[in-house]
Structure 1
């Protein structure tokens, strides 16, 4: 049920799912609303600009899905609620909760997905030291547009089933989560527009990774700590910007994994040639763009598996083998 007026809200009862949207006068959700809906499992709160607090009781602990958007005054976790465990399986907080500086993950041990975006003052995700329980169910983590984010839980994420990480537009973030290489279920990883990020954590990338996208991280260099050549399950790789140390892919510390099927490279300002790709015998798609020092394709043939080749905005590159170029286009 969707409500937009306080009077409507006071009349709801027996609901499984409730959406409160554009209820501008609402400053708090009355206890009666939660008490009258003991089976409520899905709660969506959107564009409630005056909302400051949830009920002070324990009624939120039964929710499975909580979605909060454009509620900047809302205090998500009061001191009293920091003492409770929540049954939430999906938590989304966007453009809301300006008072939230720390998000204590150990309160949400049943989470399957966590999405945080545009939380203006969020500085860290934490797990209280000494907590032994793992976040066993967490599969997807998305954090984007959090301008003050600086840290993740000390020692990394205790998330054995995490399969996807998306970190984007966190302007002062210097380090990724520790112990990334221990996340044995991680399949996809997107890191975008983190201009202060300088390196990957010690231990490198997870062994089972199949998709890696790193874009607009200008201080990040591609080196041996990535361990790309060890990632035998990696199928899709995208690198855009940064990596100023890369001139070629022939150096031992930046060898690409042989089972890649898709490779996209853009904005590598010092890339001079594409040598080092011949061993990519599964490569089907290759896209190169905005590499203004790129001067030549490999002297030997490109991988015979290649079915799609796109090269654009590489001002120094002049095709030497028109027939081969025609065959690949």
Structure 2
């Protein structure tokens, strides 16, 4: 559907009748698509949007949405974080800035699996007053991939003041293809639930926490 440019709406009543039972929606490689998603998708549980460079992703009221994947879109907007309280799996790829990430993830306290890919300006999870994971206390798995400017999970000047940089129930941490990553933070020692750390294609990693890794 490379020539698709806009949603065609036939009025709220017909829209509600037409999509009330839709459970999964994939929008892929619609390079000309602009505008916003349909409003009435009450049964939607999974939403995937990829390679829609002109699309402003404004997440509507999707109270049953459990899985969300957004890759290569113009911008992401959430009208109310309460409307995404059902999300438990999120993949965010090719996001333009850490500020957009931080704004999007506010209030996503039910997310268990989070994957961040290709955020080219991300240097740490805590920088310049932004704390990307401060409200996601339920996070079990965190994957950060292909973030070329990532130096550490916390900026050096911020790390001393962060007692809990990562969620306390985190079990799996994966860092992949982050060429500038040089160290892992001392905050890892505070996560007693951590079971697996997977690091690959991080050629400049030279430092683990001074006293080792968590005993678990």
- The interval holding the TM-score normalised by the smaller chain is 0.7 to 0.9
What SS class does the counterpart of residue 49 from structure 1 fall into?
A: strand
What SS class does the counterpart of residue 194 from structure 2 fall into?
A: coil
1:119-148 CA distances to partner (integer Å, 9 max, x unpaired)? 223333249789xx7633211111111101
1:162-211 CA distances to partner (integer Å, 9 max, x unpaired)? 11111012122223243212211211111222233221124421111xxx
Aligned to 2:159: none
Aligned to 1:21: 28
Aligned to 1:109: 109
TM-score (norm 1): 0.50
When the two chains are superposed, the root-mean-square deviation of aligned CA atoms in Å is 3.4
Structure 2 residue corresponding to 1:180, chosen from 155, 166, 188: 188
Aligned to 1:92: 91
Runs of at least 4 residues off by over 6 Å: 127-130
Structure 2 unaligned regions, length at least 5: 10-14, 155-161
Structure 2 residue corresponding to 1:39, chosen from 20, 23, 43: 43
Partners of 2:25 and 2:195 in 1: CA distance: 34
After TM superposition, list the pairs within 5 Å mapping 1:270-281 onto structure 2: none
Partners of 1:100 and 1:28 in 2: CA distance: 23
Q: Which has the higher contact order (CA 8 A, sep 6+)?
A: 2
Partners of 2:196 and 2:98 in 1: CA distance: 28
Aligned to 1:124: 124
- Cα distance change of structure 1 residues 188 and 44 upon mapping to structure 2, 3 Å threshold: same
After TM superposition, list the pairs within 5 Å mapping 1:248-259 onto structure 2: none
What SS class does the counterpart of residue 76 from structure 1 fall into?
A: strand
Contact 2:44 2:62 in 1 (8 A): no
Aligned pair count reads: 194
Going by fraction, where is strand more abundant, 1 or 2?
Answer: 2
What SS class does the counterpart of residue 19 from structure 2 fall into?
A: coil
Structure 1 unaligned regions, length at least 5: 209-329
- Cα distance change of structure 1 residues 74 and 8 upon mapping to structure 2, 3 Å threshold: closer
- Cα distance change of structure 1 residues 168 and 50 upon mapping to structure 2, 3 Å threshold: same
Larger Rg: 1
TM-score (norm 2): 0.72
- Cα distance change of structure 1 residues 90 and 3 upon mapping to structure 2, 3 Å threshold: farther
Contact 2:6 2:35 in 1 (8 A): no
Partners of 2:182 and 2:76 in 1: CA distance: 26
